[in-house]
Amino acid sequence: MAESNCTQVTEFSLMGFTGDPVTQATLFLIFLLTYLVTILGNLGVIVLIRASSQLHSPMYYFLGNLAFVDLCSSTVITPKMLVDFISEKKGIAYAGCVAQVFIFDLFGMTECFLLAMMAYDRYVAICHPLVYPLVMSPKRCFQLVMGSYLVGLANGMGQTIGMSSLSFCGSSVIHLFFCDISPLISLSTSDTTLSHVILRTSASLFGVSSSLVVLVSYVAIISTILSISSAEGKRKAFSTCTSHLTTVSIFYGTSCFMYLKPSSDSSKEDKWAAVLYTVVTPMLNPLIYSLRNKEVKEALRR
């Protein structure tokens, strides 16, 4: 009865990093520069892959889609955060919050599976090079990429459905700089069973499966590399994986800290972990591939 008489929240307040104007201005400039590098870097990777014929291979096809996903996931978070730095009212409407949850969870899970597909691509290239052109055909690559987007879409829709079942009649303060499903569940004054079931099912079904693909692929890759007799052969084989392995480590490391660490009252650590996960990682990915990948550097020079 009390639930039916409460006033539903129509706007959420997003907690900033600090109330000090000087610190806010400094952070605004830092995150603006980070976002510009993210936009230019990921757009540059997409354009370079499309323009350079030597990069028309499965690995770079996946990389181009990864750059697109990073571009979209960063754009749904960072511009709103930048606006909040220079505005007194740091709020987001309920509809905007739902849209942010949907888009962020869509592209977040899509990135998980794209990274898994890239690990599988490296596994086939190193462990089964003779059948690589057959297994990683253009049609198969397209199917793997579309499958990643469909899984991301299913995750985004599931989290949105879970959020739509929640009522918010108490506090409207989100202790983050964007709308994420976990703090929204904590704010809800209604039964959160459905939301928890969807969140845990998604994490177990999608998150764990993509992580296992990466883990199994790299166990097989490392085993194959260690069996190579020459040191030069080992170095050459491993060099094709270093960029992807670095990207995987950053993405899964920050996401695991964000979503799998024990819950605590320390919102400050949560905010900075979220910065790494949502702002810094999309910026680093194109830099990692352009600085560590010989073929990308050669294409850039040409």
Residue 188 placed within a domain: yes
175-231, pLDDT tens digit by residue? 788 888 888 888 888 878 888 888 888 877 887 888 899 999 999 988 888 887 777
In a domain, 51, yes or no: yes
In a domain, 95, yes or no: yes
In-domain check, residue 4: no
Number of Cβ atoms within 10 Å of the Cβ of 50: 12
CA 39 to chain centre: 15
Query: Could you give the count of Cα atoms lying within 13 Å of 142 in the half-sphere of its Cβ?
Result: 3
Count CA within 13 A, CB hemisphere, residue 64.
17
| pLDDT tens sequence across 150-176 | 999 999 998 898 888 888 876 778 878
Q: What is the pTM of this model?
A: 0.88
The number of folded domains in the chain is 1
Which residues form the domain of 112? 11-301
Element containing residue 192 per DSSP (H, E): none
Within-domain flag for 2: no
Query: For the domain that residue 218 is a member of, what is the CATH number?
Result: 1.20.1070.10
- pLDDT, position 4: 56
In a domain? residue 5: no
Query: b or e along 128-138 (b: 16 or more beta carbons within 10 Å of the residue's beta carbon)?
Result: eeeebeebbee
pLDDT tens for each residue of 262-283: 554 445 666 777 788 888 888 8
Report whether pLDDT(90) > 90: no
- The pLDDT value given to residue 113: 93
Residue 259 lies in a domain: yes
Kindly report the average pLDDT of the chain as a whole number: 83
